[in-house]
Structure 1
């Protein structure tokens, strides 16, 4: 009978001794990478755009026909572009988007705050899908582009854009060409 009482006591003593002697597992070092990061190899045969020098600032540039303007580093890919297509302003944020993704592009200008619905869209000449939305040129929400504005898009970060006479000229030009069958900004842009 005494053997049965000592056995559980001996087991507890052994467990306590093991717990006191054991060391903690080593903590893995933080590599600085996101926890679920996935490496995607870049194509080796495709040249990367030239890296901008530290003193160059992004600027607005216009197309020869005046139907589009783009904002970005000189000689590099645009970060944002606006185009007039039959009286509709097409806004493209040049950041890769997942197929089928939808979001609201929050735009804060000096005259308006607008949330523009954007979708992942295949854009000719661009790899993958980019964020793109549109609104009629005569829509009051288009005034957000009339001066400097800040845009925020999920997974694309924040972009600060200065005002430009090129943008104002595009808006004026596009407003004179009424949209054929364009829908009001209701679902596309919310103020």
Structure 2
């Protein structure tokens, strides 16, 4: 065969050969949530963190507790923030998140199946998952039971939370702080009752006899 024909054939066949060498598309599916930004998390944990031996501990910050294995970085934190009736419970999941990402956090356990919005927040060193909720929100009761709770965020895996009375104590304290202090509630002044005036009828004159 003429060399020029062989070269032409090779040029035509080259794209097909290269196309056949491409690796197949990955079949790993990452769920993306269609929320306000239209962008879901792309940081994905391949497995849920090991929580064997994980406990709740009081933080140096007042009204804040952290959950994790002693000696390791914390996995979760609960904090009562705000003042007076504006008290909120802040939940921080220490897992990498994309900038400005949004997701739905699921809480399953203790007789509850709750879903709460949660956003990615920059803590100065990276983007983590964090959400703030009114202290009296009934969905937070999922933390107050005596059984294990599962907290799931798409892309951050499922965090199993071992039972402890500390979350319930913190939430109860936060709700109590959100209530107005009876000692400073203004008491409305009662209208002073005006004394009634007794009218004595005049005696009629006795007719002359």
Shorter-chain TM band? 0.5 to 0.7
Which residue number corresponds to residue 106 of structure 1?
A: 106
- The CA distance in 2 between the partners of 1:162 and 1:64, in whole Å, is 21
Unpaired runs of 5+ residues, structure 2, are 1-16, 29-49, 181-209
Which residue number corresponds to residue 139 of structure 2?
A: 141
Q: Is the 8 A contact 1:91 1:134 kept in 2?
A: yes
- Say if 1:26 and 1:65 are closer, same or farther in 2 by CA, change over 3 A: closer
Report the structure, 1 or 2, having the larger strand content. 1
What are the Cα deviations for residues 35-62 of structure 1, in whole angstroms up to 9, with x where unaligned?
A: xxxxxxxxxxxxxxxxxxx996211111
Scaled by the length of structure 2, the TM-score of the pair is 0.57
Which residue number corresponds to residue 188 of structure 1?
A: none
- The CA distance in 1 between the partners of 2:172 and 2:110, in whole Å, is 18
Which residue number corresponds to residue 128 of structure 1?
A: 126
The Cα of 1:63 is off from its aligned counterpart by 2.2
- The CA distance in 2 between the partners of 1:100 and 1:114, in whole Å, is 23
CA-based RMSD of the aligned residues comes to 3.2
**Helix, strand or coil at the partner of 2:71:** coil
Q: Is the 8 A contact 1:56 1:73 kept in 2?
A: yes
The Cα of 1:93 is off from its aligned counterpart by 0.6
What are the Cα deviations for residues 130-178 of structure 1, in whole angstroms up to 9, with x where unaligned?
A: 1011211211111011132101111100111012111111011101111
Scaled by the length of structure 1, the TM-score of the pair is 0.61
Q: When the two structures are aligned, how many residues end up with a matched partner?
A: 137
Which residue number corresponds to residue 11 of structure 1?
A: none
Q: Trace 1:32-51 onto structure 2 (pairs within 5 A).
A: none
- Say if 1:98 and 1:175 are closer, same or farther in 2 by CA, change over 3 A: same
Which residue number corresponds to residue 37 of structure 2?
A: none
